[in-house]
Chain A
Amino acid sequence: MNYAVRLAVLLIGCAGLAQAQDRDLTAGATFMFDGVSTTITPASAQATRHAATFAALPSGCDPQCIAPARLALGVTTLAEPGVLAFLVNDVGANAGFLVDARTPQDRSAGFIPGSVNLPHAALAPDNSLRNDILRALGVRIFEDVFNFADAQPLVVYDGGPTQHDAGALVAHLLQVGYPPGKISYYRGGMQVWSVLGLTVQELPQ
């Protein structure tokens, strides 16, 4: 009886701790990226301006369409808490990349802190630098054979649900054999990110 009570108290304590962590993550995140402590907070000062910018993005296709809820079998779709957890647990430990699939020009409007730019065109089959990029992602290459044992987990995003850069990049990744289990898709992209008031980073002019 006594033990049961203690166990129950312990379990409740653990559950409370886990909940607290969830709350911390949704409230923001701090992690090391490229040797610099990076912080993401909600309610950033420029939130309204960024939200307006990304809301005005022209649709990625004609006639207008929206991104699917799931890009491919085995590719997980993430929401903001998942992205923040990935930044803290994986990117912060040098064990994963948050990948911005837009062109450098589109990215210059603002991006998620801790992300790297990998325009989907760079992984097109006809790009001569494709193998170099894959190596940077941890892929081992021998002749025309790829090995993905060391391939980094990726979270791919773009401008948002009206855009299709992330879809194109994921298609290229799957085409070379990148394991779908190592790819996640942040569908909200910059549109949802900015509406939520989460920190958007801009390059200095």
Chain B
Amino acid sequence: MIPSKPKISFNTAPPSQPDEAPGTALRFDPTPPQKQAAPQAPPPERSAEHDRMLERARRMDFSGGPAAQDRDFEGFEGHDLPAGDAMRVAAPRRSLGHSLPARGGLSEGGFLAPPPPGFLARNVGVLAVGGLIAGTFVLGLATAYVLFGDRRADAPQTALADETPDAVTRAVLSDLTDVRTPSSIAEAASLSRKADQALELLSKADLKTLRAEALAGTLQVVTDAVDGVERVRLRAAGTDLGRQDLVDRLIVAVEDGRIDMAPSLLTPQGAVDTDTMMFNLVQTALLRDETAASDTAARNMARMVFAASTARTQTLDGQRIYTVRAGDSLAYIALQFYGQPDAYVRILAANRNTLQSPDKIQEGQRLIIPG
């Protein structure tokens, strides 16, 4: 008999985890995110943008009463530059156009009946019509001023005013493609800065509902089969995080080119993984509040999905191998294995030889999931 010692033993040293060696660039840190875990040296232009974001976030106070809502509305008017300008110019013109035929018709009947004695008398009709037109125009301007003028004056001169409309509308979810080290959920939020823009497309009422559900802890995790593939998603009482009308609006925005879609949110079929997209948006909205309650709510969202995941791997040569299924996005896979959608960068880095970019995943593709 040749007795041999089994090499798998739990009683001696902790199992060596080469992947977890400190100093590794893409090391996953399972410790709860702390405030000080924020990126240490953010690039200057990023911090400027971040400040602007915070400013916007502060104004988008979803929790206040009627007074707060008024303030919000002003805030939106103030920085909604492209649409707002168009509206302000268009409004008086519209009122002019509507009133012109009606007044003109009235004046023709009233002033052209008596024969004109002199020049003034001869041209009194034309003058009257002209005067009416001019008067209406002035009235329209005055109305426009009363309606919009003082609000415009009161509206805060936002930092966004110096941004071109393009810069605002182009700030997008595709930021998720940056390869960097995600170390905490807090950083995950900053990584999805471009979710801001998508957030603005959602009405405040929509977000308010989802956010309130998350804060109240009434979100539920459901596992259902889509085309025979099990998927984990969060559900609010009666509201799906991936609610169709919300999602449709975002999809239309993507198709119109108003926002770019993060490649990590694309499925092998080229569709958008709406569940993970909405997850990301709500979590980002919560984290921007920077309160303890919203932070906890954001983390709980991730924990719920992580705990409920049914994704399975095989072990080959000591590596975890996951086979991509229909409906998967790289961000969704990362959410299930690491609790963070943006941790897909770890998977991308481990599969560089077979996966060039996040949107290139194929159904049936075998991906290494680093430990």
Contact = CB atoms under 8 A, between A and B. Distances in A.
Q: Answer whether A and B are interacting partners.
A: yes
Residue with the highest number of chain A CB atoms closer than 10 Å, among B8, B10, B14, B312: B10
B36 to A, nearest CB: 17
B306 A204 contact: no
Interface residues of A, number: 34
A34 B6 contact: yes
Interface string A174-189: 0000000000000000
Contacts of A147: 306-307, 309, 336
Interface in B299-325: 299, 302-303, 306-307, 309-313, 315, 320
Interface stretch (A10-18, A50-58, A78-86, A138-146): A138-146
B4 interface: yes
A33 B6 contact: yes
Contacts of A141: 30
B17 A142 contact: no
Contacts of A142: 30, 302-303, 306, 338-339
A135 B306 CA distance: 15
Contacts of A150: 312-313, 320
A145 B339 contact: yes
Nearest to B340: A142
Nearest to B311: A149
B352 interface: no
B11 A122 contact: yes
Residue with the highest number of chain B CB atoms closer than 10 Å, among A138, A141, A142: A142
Contacts of A138: 315
A150 B10 CA distance: 19
A119 B31 CA distance: 26
Contact of A118 (B11, B299, B307, B311): B11
Contacts of B98: none
Interface in A86-130: 94, 97, 103-104, 114-119, 122, 129
B9 A117 contact: yes
A145 B307 contact: yes
Contacts of B303: 142-145
Nearest to A199: B1
5 contacts: A33-B6, A116-B9, A136-B10, A149-B310, A204-B5
The 10 closest A-B pairs by CB, nearest first: A142-B339, A118-B10, A145-B303, A142-B306, A116-B8, A136-B15, A132-B14, A145-B307, A104-B11, A129-B14
Interface of B: 3-11, 14-15, 17, 30-32, 299, 302-303, 306-307, 309-313, 315, 320, 336-339, 371
